[in-house]
Structure 1
């Protein structure tokens, strides 16, 4: 695999490179457009009337009709969609919350820091544990440690993420008292301590696939000719492992991480509900129960935008490290 120095020396201003970048950007924009259309129309298929949610079950038909007019729900669907697009492109928002009357963007930005911190913690934890497990498994091939680590993904892949969260709460919060049952404490130290269990829960869903992928790549590199040559030259095994094997094995796992980023964000939203964290996830579930269309649309679009941007960045980094991966993601 081409290393970073070799990749940097290769010409990147070629027509093919620019064409590939333009095509990647067009694909990203197409995904965002599809999400906008899907979110708008699918939400309106779900049974439930936002006006009745606001006014109550015993509201009169006249009151419901007036509320529909106020919310713009009595307009034809295509006209509602055009209003939605106009608000989105002119204000960067999906409108005001039907229930709270506040800008959707403001509501999401208030909850975003907690969710972003949880995602970052889960990513760091998943990468660290995956590197540790995969390295141990690859360097102890077909031994006891390797078999134990290989069994781990097989068992954990079938565990629902919310069930794992509940087990961790029962063990480390209720029984041992090491972590709070739910919520987020004030201050950085308190926040990190409160989000430790949720981060472990989210990372738990990502670790099995990352370990399996990285272990397979490391074994392939360890058995390659250039590693045999380095060992014959008397280079220490530790230097070979960290300087050559991990570097050449990390790229496919990085690409896999980019593919799994959507699952990680989705898992974070579910885990927030399990641990009672007031982040974007709890806002999403509350909005769904109350049929708050603008908030649901805003969260879906912001999450989709984050997934597309992160995936595009990982794709660009992967190509920068090894131009042969261009178009293979």
Structure 2
């Protein structure tokens, strides 16, 4: 397994290089000049040219890319044009809040999906099963930003159960304040997990080894927990791993709406201000997080199911 992990890590090098190149080239065609954004329309052409030379924007594209690639390799990811700080410093300040939402929403998704999936599988074909499936289809169809405003109006302003945004001091306050953004992000993931786990549970119930377990005299609870649920949860690992990549991307809008100082809100602010080093650095960092999660998912799946080879 260690050899396979090292091989996978080496294979990620050209992938990350391609991501840096793609992220750099896409910004070249995006309209907007960071110098004009920073200095305004009253600045003279000479002042704008001086600022471009200071920021290195007058260099050829190939040289700008090599400098950006050097910053990625050194881990600084460049210097923010507006914060005047290394991008890595800004990322380290805000990364914990984004990771907290990712982990929090994943836990909430599992806590929501598993009971409904088990209930739907045990009552398959009935009214309960149909109602649960229709409910989660409705959840998938709801846009996350609309859920944000709905929860703010209902749970925050209406019932006063949660704050409208921001972060707190300490673990308890942060768990309370990050509940709504994590719930919004986790609901659509919960819907996919519920559908997948329900189908796997129904399929596992008809397996031969389940009939053998019943023939041995095990109780219904023992058969379900030891043989049906345990084997069905293996496929859930893949669903969670794939959706975490989506969760990381969906935090961008949710963090901004709930005023969470994470990487998502930093990215939106950088796009508005045309802070190209921050945009390029965050693009690479988001991609690295997704790639790392996929690798960890494959490792976890191979551990949970020894029949699956990591190669």
Pair in the same fold by TM > 0.5: yes
2:49 pairs with 65, 69, 72, which one? 65
1:291 aligns with 2:274: yes
Long gaps (5+) in structure 1: 1-11
- Alignment partner of 1:30 out of 3, 14, 29: 14
Q: Could you tell me whether the CA contact under 8 Å between 2:106 and 2:240 is conserved in 1?
A: no
Instruction: Please say if residues 72 and 281 of structure 2, whose CA atoms lie closer than 8 Å, have aligned partners that are also in contact.
Output: no
Q: Give the 3-state SS of the residue equivalent to 2:217 in structure 1.
A: coil
**Is the 2:112–2:190 Cα contact (8 Å) retained in structure 1?**
yes
Question: What does 1:92-107 correspond to in 2, within 5 Å?
Answer: 92-107=75-90
Aligned to 1:4: none
CA offsets 1:211-236 (integer angstroms, 9 cap, x no match): 11111111110111111222232211
The range that moved more, 60-69 or 251-260, is 251-260
After superposing the two structures, state which structure 1 stretch, 95-104 or 240-249, moved more: 240-249
1:26 Cα deviation from its structure 2 partner:
3.7
Query: 1:18-62: per-residue Cα shift (whole Å, max 9, x none)?
Result: 4x5455334433332221111111112100101111111222111
Alignment partner of 1:78 is 2:62: yes
| 1:184 pairs with one of 146, 152, 167 | 167
- Report the secondary structure of 2:204's partner residue: helix
Matched, 1:266 2:254: no
Pick which of 238-247 and 173-182 moved more: 238-247
Aligned to 1:56: 40
Asked whether 1:218 is paired with 2:201, we answer yes
Checking the alignment, whether the CA contact within 8 Å between 1:28 and 1:312 is kept in structure 2 is no
Q: Deviations over 1:242-290 (max 9, x none)?
A: 2111221112221121112111111122110111111111111000011
Aligned counterpart, 2:221: 238
Distance 1:170 1:120 in 2: 25
Unaligned runs of 5+ in 2: none
Give the SS at the match of 1:84.
Answer: helix
| Residue 253 (structure 1) aligns with | 236
**Secondary structure, aligned partner of 1:325:** coil
* Matched ranges for 1:166-185 at <5 A: 166-185=149-168
What TM-score results when the alignment is normalised by the length of structure 1? 0.90
Residues 53-80 of structure 1, C-alpha deviations (whole Å, 9 max, x = no match): 1111222111111111000000100000
Q: Residues of 2 paired with 1:49 and 1:326: CA distance?
A: 49
Name the structure 1 match of 2:24: 40
TM-score norm. by structure 2 comes to 0.95
1:161 has 2:144 as partner: yes
CA RMSD of aligned residues (A): 1.6
Instruction: Give the equivalent residue in structure 1 for 2:302.
Output: 319
CA distance in 2, matches of 1:327, 1:233: 34
The number of aligned residues is 311
Contact 2:245–2:293 (CA under 8 A) maintained in structure 1 = no
Q: Is the 8 A contact 2:237 2:300 kept in 1?
A: no
Is 2:211 the partner of 1:228?
Answer: yes
Choose which of 120, 131, 145 in structure 2 pairs with 1:148.
Answer: 131
Instruction: Report which stretch shifted further, 229-238 or 170-179.
Output: 229-238
Give the equivalent residue in structure 2 for 1:8. Answer: none
- Is the contact made by 1:104 and 1:295 (CA closer than 8 Å) also made in structure 2? yes
CA distance in structure 2 between the aligned counterparts of 1:123 and 1:268, rounded to whole angstroms? 12
Q: Output one character per residue of 1:91-128: Cα deviation in whole Å (capped at 9) or x when no partner.
A: 31211100111111111111111111111110111112
Aligned partners of 2:270, 2:237: CA distance in 1, in Å? Answer: 34
| Counterpart secondary structure, 1:270 | helix
Matches of 2:271 and 2:127, distance apart in 1: 48
